[in-house]
Amino acid sequence: MKLFVTGRQHVFDTLEEKIAANDHIIWFHVASLGEYEQAVPIINALKKNHPIHKILVSFFSPSGYEVKKNNSIADVVVYLPLDSIKNAKQFIKLAHPDIAVFIKYEIWPNYLRLLKKEAIPTILASGLFRSSQIYFKPYGGFMKKALCSFDYYFVQDNASKTLLQSIGIDQVSVSGDTRFDRVSHQIEMNNTLAFIEEFLDEHLCVVCGSTWPEDDAILINYVNSFKEKKAKPVKFIIAPHEIKPEKIKKLREKLKLPTVSYSNKDASNLKDHQVFIIDTIGLLTKIYSYANIAYVGGAMGTSGLHNILEPATFGVPIVIGCNYEKFPEANRLRQLAGLYSVKNEDDVASIFNKLIYDDSFRETTGLIAEHFINSNTGATKITVDYINNTLRPSI
């Protein structure tokens, strides 16, 4: 909360300092890190097509802003001030964007109404809607009006398009999710991590990524069971979502296998350990390239499922918790049998044993996940083509 408040204190000073009156600005607004990842492929394409434009990215959440404030591909990175009429007027006056691109869920009524009043083209990219949202309720008139401020919608699925059309919004296309484009390029990059190769020493690898305590509660006993198993040597990499020292200490205390962490890897003979705890950020995507099986955290609790597309792009079979209803990509991949959901320790043991000991099942499941990524790319081009046509007169 402190970051949420203090981070917004100097937004207008930053805009005044970094944006000149004659600058051309493309403004992206994202909630947090996940939505930023959806914006990245669009930003990269626009930077090539419109080099005279500056990219402004605003965040709602500290968890996104604090990670990207110094290493974003944008020219200007700020918090978005809270949605008051006064804040919206000052922000838009200083930013004076040629176009505004909001990502996924971000609906800010005062900002949107003012953008419309100023005739600034505004789109929603990778949008996702559910019937339970206020816009589709009889009492949702105020927020429904905010939706009408967008010039165009690019949504992830047909269900979202149908919902918008049910309230009279027809300027909408099903583009898909730009995250598929984002992760599909990861496989072309250098994902080599020498210390991971040393640790694995050619063993089968299970990566547990972005795990929360609720995930650990159903995983730890299964991991510990390999203390007595000799038939199929397996190594585990655990990348917790929270990497505070006290959290890592508690996790290590629960593990009965030889365990090493990233922070002390240089003082250890890595291949002698069976569990590797990644107590740093920024490595998980590359680590997934070494996985034979991936457990993606967040869905055992209420924090929200983390990115399943990152391991899927490497052709890795995926296991998640049971609370994933709000994540259409997880629902779709589960229907295709490239992903499996668990709700307790017995489920974990059952699906992990099948994936570990049945090579054919593991490989087939991974191929389904990889094909799922490859068959769902293209959202970036659809969105960028619209923006290119909209910006052309201002260049």
Active-site residue list: 35
Q: How far is CA 366 from CA 36, 193, 294, 315, 372, in A?
A: 27, 21, 10, 4, 10
| CA distance linking residue 210 with residue 307, whole number of Å | 9
d(CA 333, CA 328): 9
Q: Which of 333, 268, 344, 336 is nearest to 307 (CA)?
A: 333
C-alpha distances in Å from residue 377, one per residue of 140, 183, 184, 291? 33, 9, 8, 22
Q: Is the dihedral of CA 348, 353, 354, 356 positive or negative?
A: positive
Q: How far is the C-alpha of 28 from the C-alpha of 101, rounded, in Å?
A: 5
Which DSSP symbol is given to 132? T
What is the Cα–Cα distance from 101 to 41, expressed in whole angstroms? 13
Question: Is there a contact between 351 and 320 (Cβ–Cβ < 8 Å)?
Answer: no
Q: What is the DSSP string of 6-73?
A: HTTTTHHHHHHHH--TT-EEEEEEESSHHHHHHHHHHHHHHHHH-TTEEEEEEES-HHHHHHHTTT-S
C-alpha neighbours within 13 Å on the C-beta side of residue 48: 8
**Long-range contacts for 165-172 (Cβ within 8 Å, ≥24 apart)?**
166/136, 167/135, 167/136
C-alpha distances in angstroms, 359 versus 13, 353, 355?
Answer: 58, 11, 7
CB 308 within 8 A of CB 293: no
Triad 212, 214, 219: Cα angle to 5°: 90
The whole-angstrom separation of Cα 220 and Cα 363 is: 25
